[in-house]
Structure formats: structure tokens, C-alpha cells
Amino acid sequence: MKCAIIGHGKMGREIERILEERGHSVALVIDEANANELTAENLKGIDVCFEFTTPDTATANVRTVLEAGGRVVCGTTGWLENLAEMKQKAATMGGALFYASNFSIGVNMMFKLNKRLAELMNPHKEYDVRIEETHHMWKKDAPSGTAITLAEGIIENLDRKSVWVNSKPEEDNQLEIVSHREGMVPGIHRVTYTSADDFLEINHSIINRRALAMGAVIAGEYLNGKSGVHTMDDLL
């Protein structure tokens, strides 16, 4: 698999290492210093691009790849307002988009557990629920994309919650997401159901970025040769 890496920060470098370990080649690396080199011409012959940049640049990067008919695995969060447009481009322009708010296999198992737990808790109105997420101080978006995905899974299956807020709830139907930015924490997500008498938690903690990078590479291997829009649900 011949690859391009868009965003050569900590995640991009980890993805590059894993790609080489698994016998793939990296033919193009795009970062801030050479962002103008992300062109349709330079993307010719690239099987899969890996986009891990910032919310401010992700939309333009993904658009460029899709308009060139390319395939892109995108793990940048904080740009969801443009995701529907990019999915439409992938569906109509012959390219492919694999988007996930989190590429960790463990987190994606948590997504499934989270939905099922919300179903089971639906009749038990004595329990309130909240989400807490902690990341390193350089993460720009809050709440995290993973926390939003968890919130959507709860709202979909728990009748008493209909909207999430990243602040203290003012209405019973609001699902609180608490965000912390501190130290070097790769990522911790916790869903807690609390009653007057007990509490129940599901929790996932990233030990290092390799868990995320490995999931992204596996997604790229899955996406190679495909078109359209794909998610971790398709992969798992």
C-alpha cells in the first residue's frame, strides 16, 4: 500500500512507523511547511491518505483528497459541521472517506457497550448520567469527538436525555460532558450513571498513541481499493 501522511505530528509519525512495520510505503508527507504540495498531481498513485491535523485544516485537506478521487482516513476531530459535505463528496466523486472520532479498537468496543448500557438504563429513571473526558493540554477541541460519539449513543437510547452540553446542565434532558485538559494524558473517557445509592461506570484509558495509530492503519488497509463512506462499524 502506497500512502500519504497529512499532518506529521505525533500521530502522523506513529502512523508512519506502523505503516513501515507492516510493509507499506510512505510516498508523500504533508505538514505545515509544505501544505501547498497537497495537490491532485502529487496524490496520483497514492492508495490511501492519513489525515491527522487540526480542526482548522481538516476540511480543506479531506476535500482536496476526495476531489482528486483519492481515499482518506481522517482522525481529526472538531470539524463535524463539515462532515456531511465530505461524506457527500466521497459518495459522488469516486473517492473514499473513513472517518472515526477515535480509532482505538477498545474505544469502539466502549461505544457499543455504551449504547447497550443506555438501553438497559432507560427504565431506571433514578439514575442520572454524565460523561467525563480528559486529554493533554494541547488538544484544541472540547468536548472530544469521542465524548460526542458517546453522548450521541446515550441520547439515541436513553429517553430522558435529548441534548448534550459542555457545561453545567440547566435542564433534566441535558447530558453533561465534562472536559479536562491537563498534562500529557493521551485520552480518558468515562460514562457514569449515579443514583442516590450507587453508581456504575464504564471507562476507557489510552496508554499511548500507538493504540490510535494502529487502528488508523488497520482502517487504511480496509479502505484500500474501496469507495464511498466507511466507519469503524464497517471495520469491526
So which residues are the catalytic ones? 135, 139
Say which residues have a Cβ less than 8 Å from residue 107's Cβ, sequence separation at least 6: 146, 187, 189, 204, 206
- Determine contact, residues 46/29, Cβ cutoff 8 Å: no
Distance CA(145)–CA(147), nearest Å, equals: 5
User: For 133-159, b where at least 16 C-beta lie within 10 A, e where not — what string?
Assistant: bbbeeebebebbbbbbbbbbbbbebbe
Q: Return d(Cα 236, Cα 233) in angstroms, integer.
A: 5
Cis previous bond, 186, omega within 30:
no
